[in-house]
Chain A
Amino acid sequence: MYFEEAIRVLLGNKARTFLTIIGLIIGVFSVISIEVLGHSMAGSIDESLGALADNSFIIFPGSFQGNFARAAMRLSDLDAIVAEIPNVTAAVPLGGMRVLMRHGHNIGNLTLFSDSSDPFAKQPLAFGRNLSPDDISGTADVGVINWKTYQRLFPQGGDPTGESLYAGPHRYVIIGVLAEPRRGALNATFGGDVSIPYTTYLRQYVRGDRIFAARFTVRSADDMSATEVAVIKKIRDLRKVGSDVRYQTFDKAQFTQGVNGIFSAVTVVVGLIGAVSLVVAGIGVMNIMLVSIAERTREIGTRKAIGARRGQILWQFLIEAALMSSLGCFIGMALGLLVGGVINDVFIVKLTGYTAPLPFVQAFLITTVFAAVVTFAFGLYPAFRAAALDPIEALRYE
């Protein structure tokens, strides 16, 4: 009944209702469309990095320094770090080198890369499977090749799993092929051309216990940067080198910083536009509610004479304000999702090679909060005024 009457009133003044909610439409539209874009940016990063990226980082010697060799880590360092730095739960040695590889008559000078069964990057497979824990523990002579390598060594196509790959004296059975990477400026690729178990790599290529780099897994991602500092300090202590020996770290935060930097400025500006237009629109809603109440003073008087209680009058006008706010906010939401989705498909996909599904739930929650805020901040006062009208005065009102 309340809704029915509110709809009747709003439809009875279509032009007025529309003009009143334009501000809400614009405000919510801008906030939601930015939400959509931000969501797909963040989504594209999560999409290209595996779950492991959330709680692990890589440390390797800085490339530009006097004595690069002094910065090399030792395998034994890793055990010490896991044992002594509480936040580090695991460490995996990483290494890579260029080797000449052959399959049949096809030859390539390729990067061999050591990896664990839990890769940093989340890359889908075209054929076969990833490295398994059994491959690692069994130091298996197996490898996963990337798409570029697959095209180089298998120009005729077909499933290459089970085929052999030769590198000098070593032979690797291909167990998987990474799918063609997505196109997109921000879409980084990880790893080398051929990934083999790091245990196999250590056995075949590492002389003594010198390793190139390592990946560390942490218990709590919140303390990631502090842990990175602690690990580097530990390495310097163990290697007995000073701060002139440089190490670099790589983690997800560094990867997302660039993207977020561009985006946070835009978000702040659009957020401000949204907030200002919401306040202005809210004042418009309040104004039109007051006008509507003034116009309907006699009606309110009649309702009170008939026996409507204060609360019932208040409720009626609050629902009218809620309906008007919701109408504006949800039209804004629909437009925001629509335009955000189009920008996603036309522009963002070129940048990231990825389109996130539209954030319907977040958009709905944001919109509901906006509608509720406008209703209560700007609809409550007019509704109170209506409820407080004296029935005798109201009935006499011309």
Chain B
Amino acid sequence: MNNDTLAIDLQRITKTYKSGSLEVPALQGVDLRIQRGEYVAIMGPSGSGKSTMMNILGCLDRPTSGTYRLDGEDVSHLDDNALAAIRLRKLGFVFQGFNLLPRTDALKNVALPLFYAGVSTRERNARATETLREVGLADRAHHKPSELSGGQQQRVAIARALVNDPAVLLADEPTGNLDTKTSADIMALIDQLHAGGRTIIMVTHDENIARNARRIVRLLDGKIVSDDALGYEKVGDANLL
């Protein structure tokens, strides 16, 4: 097993929330390795630790114990600003509610991470335009979110997640707010990104959506209860449990 090809390496991750004197364990020793280029769905009923898992994978939260290596870098104990820098460089987020800036055109929305990274205006615009073209919205660059359909808004959000060329794309219920037809379009786009070599982690409770991934990790009560490769291709020896 070559550690250099690991996008995600979780070792004995626990997360415990304190609520008064009560300690609520959300994750109880999770081990998970995801190779570069994998397309993984994380599933589980509410209360299974799915959201906590997503927050830790997304560097929005720190584990109580255990080690998390993202793209070869140990991010388990970084402070807030260092985590922000990691999110900026290595992660792309796609949210259920798109979370675009209102009254701001698609191009500026996509360019936002580059602005926070201190990229010049000229280069921001060039890269944002290129990324919009990748998601098939080159002709909508100057439309505001209110002038775009739900599917188009999610494409803009995906472009925003991709514009900084992240190591991992994290999608949290990416089709939760979309109808069946549009959902299929978005899933086709994500599939296409996967085919292009992107590492994709998708959190969903929808079995049909999860089946688009090549591997499904199931959580229950803060533990991984199953980790299955699906169809098409064999997923190394990542299935360690």
Chain A interfacial positions (CB closer than 8 Å to B): 1, 5, 8, 12, 298-299, 301-312, 391-392, 395
Q: Are A302 and B116 also in contact (CB < 8 A) when A307-B85, A307-B88, A391-B60 are? A: no
Q: Are A305 and B112 also in contact (CB < 8 A) when A8-B104, A392-B55 are? A: no
Q: Which residues of B contact A305 (CB under 8 A)?
A: 58, 60, 87, 93, 95
How many angstroms between the C-alpha atoms of A275 and B86 in the bound complex? 46
Using a CB-CB cutoff of 8 Å, which residues 34-92 of chain B contact chain A? 55, 58, 60-61, 80-81, 84-89, 91
Q: Are A299 and B89 also in contact (CB < 8 A) when A307-B117, A309-B84 are? A: no
Q: List 15 A-B contacts (CB under 8 A).
A: A8-B103, A8-B104, A302-B95, A304-B60, A306-B88, A307-B116, A307-B164, A308-B88, A309-B81, A310-B80, A310-B84, A312-B116, A391-B60, A392-B55, A392-B61
**B-side interface residues, number (CB < 8 Å):** 29
Cβ of B230 under 8 Å from chain A? no
A308 to chain B, nearest CB (A): 5
A73 to chain B, nearest CB (A): 78
Determine which residue in A12, A301, A395 has the highest number of CB atoms from chain B within 10 A of its CB, and name it. A395
Closest to A394 in B: B60
Specify the main secondary structure of chain A where it touches its partner.
helix
Q: Which residues of A contact B60 (CB under 8 A)?
A: 304-305, 391-392, 395
Closest to A308 in B: B116
Q: Is the CB of A306 within 8 A of B93?
A: yes
Q: Which residues of B contact A299 (CB under 8 A)?
A: 99, 101
How many angstroms between the C-alpha atoms of A178 and B55 in the bound complex? 86
Closest to A1 in B: B115
Q: Is the CB of B99 within 8 A of A302?
A: yes
Q: Is the CB of A310 within 8 A of B113?
A: no
Q: Is the CB of A307 within 8 A of B103?
A: no
> Which single member of B84, B86, B160 contacts A308 (CB below 8 Å)?
B84
Determine which residue in B86, B99, B104, B117 has the highest number of CB atoms from chain A within 10 A of its CB, and name it. B99
How many angstroms between the C-alpha atoms of A52 and B95 in the bound complex? 76
Q: Is the CB of A307 within 8 A of B99?
A: no
B240 to chain A, nearest CB (A): 28
Q: Is the CB of B93 within 8 A of A309?
A: no
How many angstroms between the C-alpha atoms of A310 and B85 in the bound complex? 11
The 3 closest A-B pairs by CB, nearest first: A307-B88, A302-B99, A307-B87
Q: Which residues of A contact B121 (CB under 8 A)?
A: 1
Q: Which residues of A contact B113 (CB under 8 A)?
A: 306-307
A310 to chain B, nearest CB (A): 6
How many angstroms between the C-alpha atoms of A303 and B99 in the bound complex? 9
Q: Which residues of B contact A391 (CB under 8 A)?
A: 60
How many angstroms between the C-alpha atoms of A309 and B55 in the bound complex? 17
> Which single member of A1, A12, A298, A303 contacts B103 (CB below 8 Å)?
A12
B175 to chain A, nearest CB (A): 18
Q: Which residues of A contact B116 (CB under 8 A)?
A: 303, 306-309, 312
Determine which residue in B89, B97, B115 has the highest number of CB atoms from chain A within 10 A of its CB, and name it. B115
Q: Which residues of B contact A301 (CB under 8 A)?
A: 99
B112 to chain A, nearest CB (A): 6
Q: Is the CB of B84 within 8 A of A307?
A: yes
Q: Which residues of B contact A5 (CB under 8 A)?
A: 101, 104
Using a CB-CB cutoff of 8 Å, which residues 116-157 of chain B contact chain A? 116-117, 121
How many angstroms between the C-alpha atoms of A395 and B88 in the bound complex? 17
Q: Is the CB of B80 within 8 A of A298?
A: no
How many angstroms between the C-alpha atoms of A134 and B40 in the bound complex? 102
Q: Is the CB of B104 within 8 A of A306?
A: no
How many angstroms between the C-alpha atoms of A319 and B95 in the bound complex? 28
How many angstroms between the C-alpha atoms of A8 and B104 in the bound complex? 8
**Known contacts A302-B93, A305-B95, A306-B113, then 9 further A-B pairs from the complex at CB < 8 Å, ordered by chain A residue:** A8-B104, A299-B99, A302-B95, A307-B84, A307-B117, A308-B116, A310-B84, A391-B60, A395-B60
Q: Which residues of A contact B85 (CB under 8 A)?
A: 307, 309
Q: Are A304 and B84 also in contact (CB < 8 A) when A312-B116, A392-B55 are? A: yes
Q: Which residues of B contact A304 (CB under 8 A)?
A: 60, 84
How many angstroms between the C-alpha atoms of A1 and B109 in the bound complex? 12
Q: Which residues of A contact B104 (CB under 8 A)?
A: 5, 8
How many angstroms between the C-alpha atoms of A308 and B115 in the bound complex? 9
B13 to chain A, nearest CB (A): 16
A273 to chain B, nearest CB (A): 37
Q: Which residues of B contact A312 (CB under 8 A)?
A: 116
Q: Which residues of A contact B81 (CB under 8 A)?
A: 309-311
Q: Which residues of B contact A392 (CB under 8 A)?
A: 55, 60-61
A20 to chain B, nearest CB (A): 19
B176 to chain A, nearest CB (A): 14
Closest to B81 in A: A309
Q: Which residues of B contact A8 (CB under 8 A)?
A: 103-104
Q: Is the CB of B61 within 8 A of A306?
A: no
A353 to chain B, nearest CB (A): 55
How many angstroms between the C-alpha atoms of A281 and B16 in the bound complex? 45
Q: Which residues of B contact A306 (CB under 8 A)?
A: 87-88, 93, 112-113, 116, 160
How many angstroms between the C-alpha atoms of A299 and B99 in the bound complex? 7
Using a CB-CB cutoff of 8 Å, which residues 175-194 of chain B contact chain A? none
Q: Which residues of B contact A310 (CB under 8 A)?
A: 80-81, 84
How many angstroms between the C-alpha atoms of A237 and B170 in the bound complex? 98
